[in-house]
Every structure is written in structure tokens, then in C-alpha cells.
Amino acid sequence: MFGKRITLDDELYEKVKKCAEAAGYSSPEEFAAQVLEKEIERILGPGAGNQESDEIIKKRLQGLGYIE
């Protein structure tokens, strides 16, 4: 689940760690992954990043005339 790594400065990591503990997550990494997933879904929409979602986006762009 955590194959790739993202580096955080020490101050931010401590904040993530405190939030993870306060919210009952098993680790700061689990908390950070959850927060990132929520933010990605907020920005890109539900199911963002999967192949089905990519097809929906492609069809929308075709319908708008941005791509053929």
C-alpha cells in the first residue's frame, strides 16, 4: 500500500502524526493516504484515476469538442 514515498518536513510530519493519533488512525501514513484520497476525489471527482473514470473524462472532452 505504501510503495512510493513522499517526504515531509519535520514540522508537518509531527502535525500529521498528532492528527492521526487524535483521529484513531493506526499510523501517520494511513492518515495521510486517507486525506490525499479525499482531496483527490474532491478535485478530480469520484473514481478519479481509474480507467473507467478516464473513459468518462475522454467522452466529456469529446462531447465538448476539445478532442476527437
Domain ranges, residue 42: 10-63
Instruction: For residue 48, name the pLDDT band (cuts at 50, 70, 90).
Output: low
Q: Residue 40: what pLDDT?
A: 85
Is 47 a member of any domain?
Answer: yes
| Counted domains in the chain | 1
Residue 33 CA to residue 1 CA, distance in Å, equals 9
Residue 4 lies in a domain: no
| Section 16-21 average pLDDT | 96
Is the predicted pLDDT of residue 51 greater than 80, yes or no?
Answer: no
Nearest-angstrom CA–CA distance, 68 and 3: 36
> Is position 53 within any domain?
yes
Statement: residue 9 has pLDDT above 70? yes
Model confidence at 1, pLDDT cuts 50, 70, 90, reads low
Residue 1 lies in a domain: no
Q: Quote the CA–CA distance of 33 and 6 in Å, as a whole number.
A: 11
pTM for this predicted structure: 0.64
In whole angstroms, what is the distance from residue 62 CA to residue 32 CA? 35
Contact 57, 66 (CB under 8 A): no
Is 3 inside any structural domain? no
- Would 20 be classed as within a structural domain? yes
68 within some domain: no
- Residue 63 carries which side chain, given as an amino acid letter? G
